[in-house]
Amino acid sequence: MIIERRSFRLGLLAGLFLFAGVIAGIVLSSRLDWMPVAGSAENAATALPPGVGPSTNFVPIVKAVTPAVVNISTTRVVKGPSGGEVPPGFMDDPFFRQFFGDEFFKRFGIPRERRENSLGSGVIVSPDGYIVTNNHVIAKADEIKILLNDKREFTGKVIGTDPKTDIAVVKIDAKDLPTVPWGDSDKLEVGEYILAIGNPFALNSTVTMGIVSAVGRANVGIADYEDFIQTDAAINPGNSGGALVNVRGELVGINTAIFSRSGGYMGIGFAVPANMTRAVMDSLVKHGKVTRGWLGVSIQEVTQNLAKQFGLDEAKGALVSEVLPDSPAAAAGLRSGDVIVGFDGKAVDSPTLLRNMVAQTPIGRSARVEVLRDGKRQTLSVKIAEQPKEIAQGDGEEEGETAPKTALAGLELRNLTPEIANQLGLKPGASGVVVTAVAPDSSAAAAGVEPGDVIMEINRQPVKSINDVKRLSEKLGKNESALLLVNRRGGKLFLVVKP
């Protein structure tokens, strides 16, 4: 009886503790805004793309897309040894060959020529044999072999290449080939499921899955025109040129590169967006080259400091540092100091985005350019032209005088003479003050001012001589920043020097 009462009391006590713990857990969870790890079926469904659930089977997508992803193997003949025994080109030197001849190479086993092989991937985008791949996959190749998923092999012909986007188009002589339909890469959203299909390490038809980690990645250093899709789908050597497809089996990108410290997959891969790829391909097929739109301005990023100087609420847009003469921008009335915030109805957040937009605009088309000028929004109409080929590539003061003790302290300056302008490669008639030295610990150095820069303006006021620098510097408050317009090796840019 005593044992039963004790058992009852212990059970009651345990129940009270358990109940109290549950209540405490609920209260604590509500205060910390914790969410269940698993979540409800409703929550799980809303976190996935339309038509994708926790038990989604990607088999139908893979079966539809894989036949159109091909293996590309290239061969090129390289003159000279591979081990670096003789400097490159040395064996072809007439003097070397005169004294040593072919017997030297035979005796020491040094090949006059060697064959290099490489592997990559490609995507068939038309039934008559057009294949999109990366430029670096087929660059300098003497022979291109295309192996289809059904084991048929063809010889590929290069239709055109574009190193600036790392895209190339190859053609094979075949009909009724399987293809991957184009998708709209502009509609991709971070978090979407995607599949990467290619031939890593010569393992044909390898499929990996991941999500879109980011869009619009630029300044990666892979190509001149960058607008990469970043993904965590496993991409390895040999995947280059392969397909990046969405859950509808549409081609949204061409796998191009990985970020890696080991040479293998580390969770960061990049793909050229399908819209950019398609525009490049169409131009290569129709014209044999890529024609790009041209605005005729030098632009730079809007930093927080520049945003304050130009009265902007956000550090967004593309700041026009120079308008080239006889350019579409000059004809439309764009000015140095304008901040481009919109192009053809789309927001411009960065110079890279604007550059890509202009490049993909058809030649001769009029585009609406939205600018902020002196705090007011204006819309200008600019007729886009084809990018030019060359673009596709003293008053008695002491010389070496130091700037006044303001934000410009630490600069050594001298007046710009015709001789100095010629040495700096500037156009005749250029004016300003040359920076001859910059103190390493100065504000100007932190702002990016370099020796050889020619200061043309201070706070939007023209600078013709060191006297102008003195006069304008005296107007600066002790804690006031200076907005400089400088000419650097023929190009103009704005810099903000904080005191």
CA-angle at 241, arms to 240 and 244, nearest 5°: 95
Strands 143-147 and 130-134: unpaired
Spatial distance between the Cα atoms of 183 and 61, rounded to a whole number of angstroms: 14
Question: From residue 237, how far is each of 136, 198, 258 by CA, in Å?
Answer: 12, 10, 9
Q: Enumerate domains of the chain plus CATH numbers.
A: 65-171 (2.40.10.10), 185-287 (2.40.10.10), 293-386 (2.30.42.10), 401-497 (2.30.42.10)
Q: Say whether 263 counts as a known binding-site residue.
A: no
Active site annotation includes 240? yes
Spatial distance between the Cα atoms of 317 and 332, rounded to a whole number of angstroms: 19
Q: Give the three-class secondary structure for 356.
A: helix
Q: Give the three-class secondary structure for 43.
A: helix
What is the model's pTM?
0.65
Active site annotation includes 287? no
Spatial distance between the Cα atoms of 32 and 25, rounded to a whole number of angstroms: 11
Q: Say whether 149 counts as a known binding-site residue.
A: no
Spatial distance between the Cα atoms of 236 and 207, rounded to a whole number of angstroms: 11
Contact indicator for 104, 111 with CB cutoff of 8 Å: no
Contact indicator for 350, 316 with CB cutoff of 8 Å: yes
Catalytic residue among 166, 232, 338, 453: 166
Spatial distance between the Cα atoms of 321 and 459, rounded to a whole number of angstroms: 13
Catalytic residue among 73, 118, 136, 453: 136
Catalytic residue among 73, 118, 121, 240: 240
Three-state secondary structure string covering 98-124: HHHHHHHHHHCCCCCEEEEEEEEEEEE
What tens-digit pLDDT sequence spans the chain (499 residues)? 333 444 445 454 555 444 455 444 443 333 333 232 223 333 333 344 455 554 467 899 999 999 999 999 998 876 655 444 444 444 444 444 444 455 555 555 555 566 778 889 999 999 999 999 999 999 888 999 999 999 999 999 999 999 999 999 999 999 999 999 999 999 999 999 999 999 988 888 899 999 999 999 887 778 888 899 999 999 888 899 999 999 999 999 999 988 877 777 788 999 999 999 999 999 999 988 898 999 998 888 888 888 888 888 888 999 998 888 889 999 999 998 999 999 999 999 888 889 999 998 999 999 999 999 988 999 999 999 998 875 544 333 334 445 555 778 888 888 887 767 777 777 777 888 888 778 877 888 888 998 889 999 999 999 988 878 888 887 887 778 889 999 888 888 999 988 7
Instruction: Collect contacts of 412-415 with beta carbons under 8 A, ≥24 apart.
Output: 412/436, 412/437, 412/438, 413/455, 413/466, 413/469, 414/466, 415/465, 415/466
Contact indicator for 212, 188 with CB cutoff of 8 Å: yes
* Residue 427 identity (one-letter amino acid): K
Q: Say whether 238 counts as a known binding-site residue.
A: yes
Spatial distance between the Cα atoms of 296 and 277, rounded to a whole number of angstroms: 24
Instruction: Collect contacts of 260-264 with beta carbons under 8 A, ≥24 apart.
Output: 263/237, 264/236, 264/237
Spatial distance between the Cα atoms of 464 and 291, rounded to a whole number of angstroms: 40
Give the number of other CB atoms < 10 A from CB of residue 390. 6
What the block records as the tokens of 271 is 């793909």
Tell me the β-bridge partners of 134: 167
Phi, psi of 116 (to 5 degrees): -110, 135
Q: Say whether 239 counts as a known binding-site residue.
A: yes
Q: Say whether 136 counts as a known binding-site residue.
A: yes
